[in-house]
Amino acid sequence: MKQLKFNNGDLMPAIGLGTWKSNPGEVGQAVKTAIINGYRHIDCAAVYGNETEIGVALAELFQEGVVKREDLWITSKLWNDSHQSQYVIDALKKTLSDLQLEYLDLYLIHWPVAFKHGVQPQSSEDFLSLEEVPIIETWTKMEEAVKLGLTKHIGVSNFSIKKLKDLLSKATIKPEVNQVELHPFLQQNELVQFAKENQIILTGYSPLGSGDRSVGMKKADEPSLLNNEVIAEVAKANGCTTAQVLIAWQVQRGTAVIPKSTNADRLKQNLESALCRLSEEDIKKINGLDRHYRYVDAKFFDVSGNTYSNVYDE
Ligand SMILES: NC(=O)c1ccc[n+]([C@@H]2O[C@H](COP(=O)([O-])OP(=O)(O)OC[C@H]3O[C@@H](n4cnc5c(N)ncnc54)[C@H](OP(=O)(O)O)[C@@H]3O)[C@@H](O)[C@H]2O)c1
């Protein structure tokens, strides 16, 4: 399995398991099956509402001697309602308690979007602007979390180049990861180049097109990655599945990738993408599919009267 190296030498497996939309009652078993089959990187978040069940699964795996804590890479994310400085450390401690862990490998600011504490926004009143809660206020507490030993690394998610530049100019500990949507329809080449130049690792989310999002989050005419003709052609030529091609493309590009599955066969299939080797010709064909298409478009934060109509700065 390819690993991505951090400045201090720590290694993060390039393929991890996504857990958004992994339902209660299923997610624990999915994490267990994944780890038993060789996954060593699990992507979590407080807002996914399933960290408690993941914590039970991890505790059982440690107890059964299947894996040791230090052999795993566990990421989690700070939710938008805890950006204010007084809430950051407590939010991380809650995640650690739910996951039954003493430390995370990586903690990310989930979105450059702030809500009032404990609120699920219904109107613009429930948001706080980035002028009211500047990212650097949140980031300073993320830095403190590293010093307290609660997380080994810190980073961000859904940050544009503009927001990364601003944070890099102010941070004491530089963000080491930006987790963003990446796949052949949204290649973000400029961001990939910027991240490379600034020693920021990119992790690609929704790599298979996030087909299990709720109807309300989907557009009627969404293009399909898994059924795309070019991807299918490359898959056939390599004896792989289309999902494996989509995952392998990211790994060969030098980014991490976190496909979600709760199905035992697909979990195994996704990890085995590591065996799918794409040729330069294959990669050229896939690179031709870019259309700057977002499955997760952040429209859910764009409430009339708030300041989040352009989260991605584009
Ligand atoms: N930072 C952020 O803001 C953010 C946003 C979105 C996602 N993420 C992270 O990224 C992870 C992955 O993204 P995602 O969950 O949006 O979507 P995704 O991984 O692109 O797609 C998940 C869907 O693909 C299916 N699937 C998985 N493997 C398959 C295979 N081999 N063949 C066919 N279908 C397959 C899954 O079904 P089954 O489960 O039935 O296999 C599920 O319906 C998330 O779970 C989360 O951890 C982060």
48 included as an active-site residue: yes
**Are the C-beta atoms of residues 2 and 16 closer than 8 Å to each other?**
no
pTM, to two decimals = 0.98
CB 238 within 8 A of CB 282: yes
**Stretch 93-116: mean pLDDT, rounded?**
98
Distance CA 314, CA 311 (A): 8
Q: Over the chain, what is the mean pLDDT?
A: 97
pLDDT band for position 234 (cuts 50, 70, 90): very high
Atom of ligand 1 nearest to the CA of 179: 1
- Residue of the CA atom closest to atom 21 of ligand 1: 210
User: Could you give the angle at the alpha carbon of 200 between the alpha carbons of 287 and 6, nearest 5°?
Assistant: 115
Reply yes or no on whether the pLDDT at 115 is more than 90.
Answer: yes
State the average pLDDT over residues 154-164.
98
**Ligand 1 centroid, distance to 210 Cα (angstroms):** 5
Q: Which of 218, 236, 77, 80 is nearest to 154 (CA)?
A: 77
On the question of pLDDT at 311 being above 90, the answer is yes
User: Using alpha carbons only, how large is the chain's radius of gyration in Å?
Assistant: 19
d(CA 234, CA 277): 11
pLDDT tops 90 at residue 188:
yes
Residues 42-60 as b/e (b if ≥16 CB within 10 A, e otherwise) read bbbbbbbebbebbbbbbee
13-40 per-position pLDDT tens digit:
999 999 999 999 999 999 999 999 999 9
Tallying the residues shown for the chain, one arrives at 314
Burial 208-233 (b: 16+ CB within 10 A, else e): bbbeeeeeeeeeeeeeebeebeebee
Measure Cα distances from 263 to 27, 68, 205, 231, 260 in Å.
Answer: 10, 24, 18, 22, 9
Q: How far apart are CA 21 and CA 43, in angstroms?
A: 12
Q: Most distant CA pair in the chain: distance in Å?
A: 54
From the CA of 30, give the closest atom in ligand 1.
Answer: 39
**Dihedral sign of CA atoms 47, 178, 1, 68 in order:** negative
Residue 206 CA to ligand 1 centre (angstroms): 5
Protein residue closest via CA to atom 14 of ligand 1: 206
Residue 173 in contact with ligand 1 by CB distance below 6 A: no
Ligand 1 in contact with 205 (CB < 6 A)? yes
Q: What per-residue confidence (pLDDT) applies to 1? A: 86
